[in-house]
């Protein structure tokens, strides 16, 4: 008896899930974790001051003030506001046809563009190098990695050890810093997770799966939150970098917060963009 099989049946309807899952990275720890402030010019400036060197301080009872320590004036640091923009364009026909997972392609692209804007901003906050710009060259901010200079090391090809991590935090402390956040790529995050001395692993009470990720590391110089960050190390980098910061000293300053800007309609298409201007 002849039978009909599904294997060569071209009349079969597709089995298409009506939900779209976006697997692109959306981790933006700097944008969401740092403080926010307001920029009022494309050149954003901020004062930095220092304290006198600590020393033995003794005074005779009843003595007059001597004003022996010269007071210092704050120095002025700056960064450049960078324009971050995501453009998108959808034909009118594409907006009318029936889709799986969404109804309006323009609304869908708008949602994607907002996520992409945040990802691109996070990339610049970590990796950008300052450029003043002109009428033909875009302005560019200095990111975290470009700002760090005093305790910059390049351990190319060296396996990270617990002693090395402690030495790095020690160097920052010696220079007056108190590192409370550490950002690393996937390779070094896994190495830190293998540390056994002062690493803290968290497990939710209602989740009995094995937890092997180290989220907090405690050294002789304090407690440090650990973040696996996609942009500390990227393809083409020579070194596996460690970025340590003191969170309270860093801010994201917005000259223009991101917003959706519908663009003039030309022809049979709808155009728009997400645009904002910010610096570190």
pLDDT digits (tens, 9 = 90+) for 127-140: 999 999 999 999 99
pLDDT at 198: 58
Lowest mean pLDDT among 6-15, 96-105, 146-155: 6-15
Q: Give pTM, 2 decimals.
A: 0.86
What's the whole-number mean pLDDT along residues 24-41?
Answer: 88
Closest CA to 24 of 113, 87, 95: 113
What distances in angstroms separate CA 181 from CA 151, 195, 222, one per listed residue? 15, 17, 10
183 close to 232: Cβ distance less than 8 angstroms: yes
Six-digit token pair at 207? 């989740």
Lowest mean pLDDT among 14-28, 96-110, 156-170, 257-271: 14-28
Six-digit token pair at 268? 């049979």
Closest CA to 223 of 205, 241, 202, 246: 246
Please check the confidence at residue 208 and state whether its pLDDT lies above 50: no
pLDDT at 232: 93
pLDDT at 69: 85
Higher pLDDT, 198 or 108: 108
Measure the CA–CA gap between 253 and 38, rounded to whole angstroms.
Answer: 5
What distances in angstroms separate CA 196 from CA 116, 165, 212, 251, 257, one per listed residue? 37, 13, 11, 33, 43
DSSP structural state of residue 171: H
What distances in angstroms separate CA 78 from CA 25, 121, 141, 232, 278, one per listed residue? 30, 18, 10, 23, 13
What's the whole-number mean pLDDT along residues 62-89?
Answer: 93
Lowest mean pLDDT among 58-62, 235-239, 276-280: 235-239
Please check the confidence at residue 209 and state whether its pLDDT lies above 80: no
């Amino acid at each position: 008896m002849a039978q009909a099989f599904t294997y060569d049946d071209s009349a079969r309807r597709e089995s298409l899930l009506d939900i779209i899952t976006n697997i692109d990275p959306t981790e933006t720890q700097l944008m969401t974790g740092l403080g926010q402030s307001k920029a009022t010019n494309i050149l954003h400036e901020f004062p930095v001051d220092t304290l006198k060197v600590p020393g033995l301080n003794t005074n005779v009872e009843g003595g007059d003030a001597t004003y022996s320590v010269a007071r210092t004036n704050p120095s002025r640091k700056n960064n450049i506001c960078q324009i971050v923009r995501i453009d998108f364009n959808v034909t009118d026909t594409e907006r009318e046809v029936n889709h799986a997972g969404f109804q309006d392609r323009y609304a869908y692209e708008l949602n994607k563009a907002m996520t992409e804007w945040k990802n691109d901003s996070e990339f610049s906050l970590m990796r950008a190098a300052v450029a003043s710009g002109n009428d033909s060259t875009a302005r560019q901010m200095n990111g975290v990695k470009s700002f760090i200079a005093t305790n910059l090391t390049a351990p190319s090809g060296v396996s990270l050890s617990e002693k090395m991590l402690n030495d790095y935090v020690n160097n920052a402390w010696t220079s007056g810093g108190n590192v409370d956040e550490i950002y690393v790529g996937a390779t070094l995050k896994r190495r830190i997770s293998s540390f056994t001395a002062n690493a803290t692993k968290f497990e939710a009470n209602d989740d009995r799966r094995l937890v092997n990720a180290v989220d907090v590391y405690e050294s002789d110089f304090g407690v440090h939150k650990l973040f696996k960050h996609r942009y500390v190390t990227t393809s083409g980098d020579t070194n596996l970098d460690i970025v340590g910061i003191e969170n309270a000293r860093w801010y994201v300053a917005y000259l223009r917060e991101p917003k959706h800007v519908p663009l003039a309609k030309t022809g049979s298409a709808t155009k728009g963009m997400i645009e904002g201007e910010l610096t570190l």
